Amino acid sequence: MKKTRNYLNRNFKRKRRRDSLSTERRSKLMSKIRSRNTKFEREFIAALKKATKKKFKTNISSIKGKPDIVFLNEKLCVFLDSDFWHGWQYPRWKHLLKNKFWRDKIENNRKRDKKTTIFLRRNGWKVLRIWEHEIKNNSDFEIKKLLKKLTRNFA
């Protein structure tokens, strides 16, 4: 069987294999994964600070969904979504997940993301979601896209 790979070089057609790590080591590894201030978020925010003089805040918990970046004056929320936890192309690789717990977790994350986006837009916010792989592939382009939307204010 020929392996099919996407542009991220991931093989979504493969069968699930047994975990090479013990349960304890996997648990320890997974506990180190953070929900904010991840490497790609820190790098994107640092580059954004250099690219604009507009003021923004990060991880504001008073706004539903706790957006990663908020431009209060422009009423713009930016979410930097990781490919795994927010399920980019999830239907293609959900069969690789270990058990129902992980499938439910990612499906619930995706549903919550949609509900949050709808809620914020109905309450006058502009919402922009940027995927982790888009930032890693070309963060300069994503920053330019964000700044363009800011100046046009989603006109």
- DSSP letter at 5? B
Higher pLDDT, 46 or 102: 46
**CB proximity list for 65: less than 8 A, separation 6 or greater:** 77, 79, 112, 113, 116, 117, 119, 120
Q: How far apart are the first and last CA of the chain?
A: 49
Q: What is the tally of helices (H) and strands (E) in the chain? A: 5, 4
What is the average pLDDT score of the chain?
83
Q: For the whole prediction, is pTM greater than 0.85?
A: no
Q: In this structure, what token pair is assigned to residue 127?
A: 């919402």
pLDDT of 107 reads: 87
Give pLDDT tens digits for 3-13.
555 555 666 66
Cβ burial of 39 (10 Å; 0-12, 13-18, 19+) is exposed
Give pLDDT tens digits for 80-112.
988 887 888 877 777 777 778 888 888 898 999
Judge contact between 110 and 81, C-beta under 8 A: no
Fold adopted by 37-152: Endonuclease; Chain A (3.40.960)
Higher pLDDT, 150 or 117: 117
- Burial string for 119-130 (b: 16+ CB within 10 Å, else e) reads ebeeeebbbbbb
Q: Count Cα neighbours of 72 within 13 Å in the Cβ-side half-sphere.
A: 8
pLDDT of 40 reads: 85
Banded model confidence at residue 154, pLDDT cuts 50, 70, 90: very low
Domains of the chain by residue range = 37-152
pLDDT of 155 reads: 47
